[in-house]
């Protein structure tokens, strides 16, 4: 029964860092239990679930100031490139003969 609980817990989308930690603890406990029982396939499935959880939780982690600045600068460069492309298209359309 605890394994089914862990599977349900792990499949739920964490909405906070605390939930991530709690789900991670449950998965790690279940992995240790599976390993002790020789259930290597089950342990591997739990490891895959834990890896997916880490990826989801990483998105929830607060960004550092430097990371936020870098992200915004990257967005600005992208927007400037799109603006330059749109302005070039506009010039091209305006220069066409009627």
Tell me whether residue 31 is exposed, middle or buried, using C-beta atoms within 10 angstroms of its C-beta: 0 to 12, 13 to 18, 19 or more: buried
- In this prediction, residue 8 carries a pLDDT of 42
CA atoms of 30 and 33, how far apart (whole Å): 5
User: Minimal CA–CA distance to 61: which of 88, 21, 32, 93?
Assistant: 21
Q: Does pTM top 0.85 for this prediction?
A: no
Average pLDDT of the chain to the nearest whole number: 83
Give residue-wise pLDDT tens across range 39-70.
999 999 999 999 999 888 887 777 778 888 99
- In this prediction, residue 12 carries a pLDDT of 63
- In this prediction, residue 33 carries a pLDDT of 94
Give residue-wise pLDDT tens across range 17-46.
788 889 999 999 999 999 999 999 999 999
């Amino acid at each position: 029964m605890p394994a089914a609980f862990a599977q349900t817990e792990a499949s739920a989308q964490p909405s906070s860092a605390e939930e991530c930690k709690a789900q991670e603890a449950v998965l790690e406990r279940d992995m240790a239990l599976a390993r002790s029982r020789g259930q290597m396939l089950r342990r591997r499935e739990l490891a895959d679930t834990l890896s997916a959880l880490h990826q989801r939780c990483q998105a929830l982690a607060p960004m550092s100031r430097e990371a936020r600045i870098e992200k915004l600068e990257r967005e600005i460069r992208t927007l400037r490139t799109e603006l330059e492309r749109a302005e070039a298209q506009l010039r091209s359309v305006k220069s066409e003969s009627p």
